[in-house]
């Protein structure tokens, strides 16, 4: 799948992210939605990755299309990966249920 680099300021991202939080909250409130989204199993092996000195923020912008924004420091990348988006969403739902 193609990746697209987009330059967005942190302020613009945070203002847009609030809408994503509202949408994600509404989606989480829909009963049975978690059962509809079948999550694939996580890989059994972890690749060797370099240490990241700055926080990595992943924002699922559109669960249906798999659009995910990744931000590290001042870098911002938008990619489409439905598998990754579903796994992130499932992890967020699982954390909410644990509380």
**What distance in Å separates the CA atoms of residue 21 and residue 49, rounded to the nearest whole number?**
29
The per-residue pLDDT for 95 is 73
Q: Write the DSSP symbol of residue 53.
A: S
pTM above 0.75, yes or no: no
Instruction: Give the pLDDT confidence score for residue 74 in this predicted structure.
Output: 86
Strand ranges inside the chain, DSSP E: 3-5, 56-62, 67-72, 75-80
**Six-digit token string for 67:** 């659009």
Q: How confident is the model at residue 78 (pLDDT cuts 50, 70, 90)?
A: very high
Give the separation between CA 18 and CA 41, rounded to whole angstroms: 29
Q: What is the pLDDT of residues 6-47, one digit of tens each?
A: 666 666 666 566 555 555 555 555 555 555 455 556 666 767
The whole-number pLDDT of residue 69 equals 92
């Amino acid at each position: 799948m193609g990746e697209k680099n987009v330059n967005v300021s942190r302020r613009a991202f945070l203002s847009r992210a609030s809408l994503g939080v509202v949408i994600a909250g509404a989606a989480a409130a829909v009963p049975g939605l978690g059962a509809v989204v079948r999550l694939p199993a996580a890989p059994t092996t972890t690749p060797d990755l370099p240490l990241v000195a700055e926080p990595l923020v992943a924002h699922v912008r559109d669960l249906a299309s798999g659009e995910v924004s990744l931000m590290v420091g001042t870098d911002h990348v938008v990619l489409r990966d439905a598998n990754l988006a579903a796994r992130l969403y499932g992890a967020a739902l699982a954390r909410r249920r644990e509380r």
